[in-house]
Amino acid sequence: MVSSSSNKVPKVQKVVISQEFAGQRIDNFLITYLKGVPKTRIYRIIRKGEVRINQGRTKPDYRLIAGDLLRIPPIRQGEKKSAMNFSGNLETAHHILDQVLYEDDGLIVINKPAGVAVHGGSGVSFGIIEALRHVKGNVNKNLELIHRLDRDTSGCLMIAKRRSTLKAIHEMLRIGEVEKVYWALVKGDWRGNPVVNAPLKKNLLSSGERIVKVAIDGQPSLTEFRVLNHYSSMTLVEAKPKTGRTHQIRVHAAYAGCPIVGDPKYGDNAFNREMKAAGFKRLFLHARQIVLKLPETQKVISIEAPLDQQLQMCFSKLEKGETYV
């Protein structure tokens, strides 16, 4: 694949798609290739026919084929502006490097901090992937998120260092060959519902907020829960999502009658206010463990993310029998 021009005046780019990018949607390819260009701009140039595949118009969901000739119109990528905006986040970026749990030639797994988005957008100037690209870009130029975690969720997050790893683990996720284990502290005494099998549907409110609800016409969604410990007014559960829907664990826990502590969208607002007053100020959902077979070596690895200081402090109080409410 040819690289983009470094000239100040943007020019038409012609890119021959290599086998590495075969099968990827053209919109996702352009979002990565044209770093710094807003997604709205990318979808607009596709819709207007300024992006061409083999001299013909295309649609955002077209999947690239090795040998395709891609024409990209003159477009400014805003790289200098992005660098300027990022300068104030360098400390956070280097802190993220300290959270690396595992790394090899194709994969990075980090312990994502709560409160940090996995990528920029929707009012967020930067995220985990932008941070890693900034501090590791000279060495690893093809860093891509393999999956996502909600902004307020902490724990294991996988990033691919090359396209082949990204494609391989995506396929493993699709067929259920990657085990993801979460810990969640929920309101109430969880006794039943070891498996929640409830279809989920995404809705967009008039405010623009995205919310997920259990709905008959939703997508099939299944989460396995296991009680780890009971506390006064709360329960620590292990959650294994068998499907990968947006907000799945959060919605399924609430549907089971035990919403996650600190959940501002699907939780118990009164209970959350009491917990916040007691010093507990974040969503208690942590991606505790990932188990997968490495694509290159077929070796099975298990990676665990330790709890952050705030969650450890919470556990310390709970183990001592101290109650929040």
Instruction: Reply yes or no on whether 189 is catalytic.
Output: no
Q: Which fold has domain 178-283?
A: Pseudouridine synthase (3.30.2350)
**Backbone phi and psi for residue 92, each to the nearest 5 degrees, phi listed first:** -65, -40
8 Å CB contact between 164 and 194: no
Rg (CA), the chain: 22
Structure tokens at 146: 């393999």
Q: Which residues contact 269 (CB under 8 A, 6 or more apart)?
A: none
Catalytic choice (27, 150, 268, 308):
150
Report pLDDT for 140. 67
> Where, residue-wise, is CATH 3.30.2350.10 in the chain?
83-167, 178-283
Closest CA to 159 of 181, 175, 142, 144: 144
How far is the C-alpha of 108 from the C-alpha of 94, rounded, in Å? 15
> Which pTM does this prediction carry?
0.75
Sort strands 100-103 and 52-53 into parallel, antiparallel or unpaired.
unpaired
- For residue 313, what pLDDT is reported? 83
Read off the DSSP letter of residue 259.
P
- AA identity, residue 24: Q
What is the reported pLDDT for 92? Answer: 65
Spatial contact of 260 and 188, defined as CB atoms under 8 Å apart: no
- Residue ranges matching CATH 3.10.290.10 in the chain: 13-73
Joined together, the tokens standing for residue 5 give: 């021009």
CATH annotation of 83-167:
3.30.2350.10
Q: Give bridge partners of residue 121 from the DSSP assignment.
A: 124
**Rounded Cα distance, 178 and 172, in Å:** 6
Confidence (pLDDT) at 208: 64
Going from the first residue of the chain to its last (325 residues), give the mean pLDDT of each consecutive group of 10, the final group possibly shorter.
Answer: 49 84 85 81 91 92 89 72 46 76 94 85 66 71 87 94 90 93 95 90 75 94 95 92 94 96 94 84 94 92 92 81 57
Residues 6+ apart with CB under 8 A from 90: 134
For domain 13-73, the CATH class is: alpha beta
